[in-house]
A and B are shown apart, each in its own frame.
Chain A
Amino acid sequence: MAVVEALVPPRSNSRRVVRRVLRNPLAITGLAVLAIAVVLAVFANWLAPHDPTQTQLGNAFAPPGTAGHLLGTDDLGRDVLSRIMFGLRASLHVGILAVAFSLVIGVPLGLIAGYFRAIDALISRLTDLVLAFPFLILAVGLAAIRGASLGNAAIAIGIAQIPGMIRIVRSETLRLKSLDFVSAAIVEGAGDAWILGRHILPNAGSALIVQATVGIPAAILGEAVLSFLGLGIQPPAPSLGTMLSDAQQFASRAPWAAVMPGVAIMLLTLAFNIVGDSLRDALDPKASRR
């Protein structure tokens, strides 16, 4: 009996998930990359060796390793490393804002669509409509109405992500509401709001976390696209996307100015995807490894 009890897994679900994630070296690498990125972005003001918008025309196209400019300088002599740090800040800002926006709108709509059959058709057709609408035209339209800015780019990206969020939550709701514990709650006299909030949403949590961790890198890439087109962050403030687009015309003369922010985008996106993947594995209660 004592042996059996010793084998009983730890009590807390969240602690179990954390343990599973920490046991996966790939996940730890991803988390470490994310942590570094967040620290660099948040403390860019203090950590950056130079002002990211300070031009120094006499020192343009300095290659990586030049004294004082670890990753070199761009066509206006601005320090690439400093610009990447501030660019990370803009990219993370857009990524998190866009996903938060799509969560706030998509989750309630998805729950309603999945739970109340009468409204399902309406919400699902609206979802199709948004999906069918070209993302760039949406972004251009929003920029025309509200002005081109980082926040508006985030909203445009968020809107584009809402349909995916609705569909994920809706399908989870459809699956969960047919399970016996929801029927049991109905017999107990639980109301619709209670069932949605206490039984369906918590069980859809793992799918949501995964969708969010996939949504953030997608939004970061989206921001790069929009900034590339001049619809996102406004110069001279850097984002990883604008750095790429600015540097492309000098790509043969100063490849580092394009490659470095590109590598940063790639690492950030990869890290988010890895963490999302391992979270999904860790949150799956049916996974064989405890």
Chain B
Amino acid sequence: MTPVLAVKDLSVTFRTEDGPLSAVDHVSFEVGDGEVLAVVGESGCGKSVTAMSIAGLLPRSATVDGSVELDGTELIGADKRTLRSIRGREVAYIFQEPMTSLNPVFTVGHQISEVLRTHIGLNRQDARTRAIELLKLVGISSAERRIGDYPHQLSGGMRQRVMIAMAVACDPKVLIADEPTTALDVTIQAGILDVLRGLRERLGTSIVLITHDLGVVADLADRVAVMYAGRVVETAEVHDLFANPQHPYTTGLLGASPAAGRHAESQRLNEIPGLVPVLTEQPDACTFADRCPRAVDTCTTSQPQLTPGPHRVACWNPVREPVEV
């Protein structure tokens, strides 16, 4: 399977007043056609920065190294013209906060139509018809009426649906969903996940799903990449990862999750002590060692590399025994 999106050795460093800050360190992953890859981790793990570097949304203070290939076209270091033609048509982005992701002074129909008219060259009438179809596709009832609404007249879940409709308007190859359900309540979340699943099935869109919600991962993803402090520490098929987590951080995340955790019956969820470190440079060590219950001497002296194979893990002392489901 040729990957639609191939990220190789992606590193992102921010220039700050306190010196450089390493946000992403040699991250590599691939997303196949119609595949849903979930990138999970705590806040501050570099998930969003990874996503933003794919979409070209990073501020100028960021230095990006490595390679992001979309359908064979290199995006890192590409000239503005190439980037502009790729964005919008090939990559679409869904933001976390539906309240601010639509322009408040135009109707939603206008905003969707505008994307269609500029990128596909539809005329006004066709764009309107297509916009209604798209709104129906994302599950908005009475789309003919809703098309004339302003964003402030819609609920958060509806706005997120409109955002998705806009994102898929040009039939993008890759949809980056950056915590698409975090700002929504649970019942609305399920609806949005249904919409994303439907898109993948009907349009064959590949989705990079950024989330810290393992319930969402289990629901939607094919494959999971667990990030910690800017590095991918474990990547596997979703069932394999849930059944057989090998990195202590992954087991920690699973243990801290009420929906997917294995401690649902116990009184208290298991938290991972400590916080994600803020790194000025990436050390030659495991960045999780400080918080890791399984840390051994090697962990602080040498950086573990991802093991080869379908289930890859970067750990000196991985969890080997399968967890009872």
Contact = CB atoms under 8 A, between A and B. Distances in A.
Contacts of B88: 187-190
A8 B93 contact: no
Given A186-B56, A202-B106, A181 B101 contact: yes
B109 to A, nearest CB: 10
Contacts of A199: 103
Contact of A187 (B91, B104, B142, B153): B91
Contacts of B42: none
Given A187-B87, A189-B83, A189-B88, A181 B103 contact: yes
Contacts of A184: 93, 95, 101, 163, 166
Given A187-B55, A187-B88, A13 B93 contact: no
Contacts of B84: 189, 191
A217 B180 CA distance: 48
Interface residues of A, number: 22
Interface string B52-82: 0001110000000000000000000000000
Contacts of B89: 189
B95 A189 contact: no
B239 interface: no
A187 B55 CA distance: 6
A260 to B, nearest CB: 43
B152 interface: yes
A188 B163 CA distance: 12
Given A11-B148, A183-B93, A188 B87 contact: yes
A225 to B, nearest CB: 37
B102 A9 contact: no
A203 interface: yes
Contacts of A186: 56-57, 87
Contacts of B115: 188
Interface in A159-189: 179-181, 183-184, 186-189
Given A188-B115, A189-B84, A183 B57 contact: yes
Contact of A202 (B83, B105, B114): B105
Interface string B159-183: 0000100100000000000000000
B15 interface: no
A187 B56 contact: yes
Nearest to A179: B100
A68 interface: no
Question: Which of B55, B104, B118 has the most A CB atoms < 10 Å from its CB?
Answer: B104
A285 interface: yes
Given A9-B153, A187-B91, A203 B85 contact: no
Nearest to A201: B105
A181 B105 contact: no
Contacts of B86: 189
B144 interface: no
B85 A189 contact: yes
Contacts of A205: 105
Interface size class of B (residues with CB under 8 A): 35 or more
B256 interface: no
B194 interface: no
B237 interface: no
Interface in B129-174: 142, 145, 148-150, 152-153, 163, 166
Contact of B149 (A11, A189, A191): A11
A11 B109 CA distance: 12
A209 to B, nearest CB: 13
B92 interface: yes
B82 to A, nearest CB: 10
B101 A180 contact: yes
B100 A187 contact: no
Contacts of B240: none
B222 interface: no
B294 interface: no
Contacts of B96: 180
A11 B152 CA distance: 11
Nearest to A200: B103
Contact of B152 (A181, A189, A202, A285): A285
B103 A203 contact: yes
Contacts of A8: 145, 149, 153
B119 interface: yes
Contact of A203 (B93, B105, B163): B105
Contacts of B30: none
A187 B93 contact: yes
Contacts of B114: 198
Given A184-B95, A188-B87, A188-B92, 6 more contacts: A9-B153, A179-B101, A180-B95, A181-B102, A181-B103, A202-B106
Interface of A: 5, 8-9, 11, 13, 179-181, 183-184, 186-191, 198-199, 202-203, 205, 285
28 contacts: A11-B148, A13-B105, A13-B150, A179-B101, A181-B101, A183-B95, A183-B101, A184-B95, A184-B163, A184-B166, A186-B56, A186-B57, A186-B87, A187-B56, A187-B57, A187-B91, A189-B83, A189-B87, A189-B119, A190-B88, A191-B84, A198-B103, A199-B103, A202-B105, A203-B104, A203-B105, A285-B104, A285-B150
For the complex of A and B, 4 pairs with smallest distance between CB atoms:
A180-B101, A189-B88, A188-B88, A189-B87
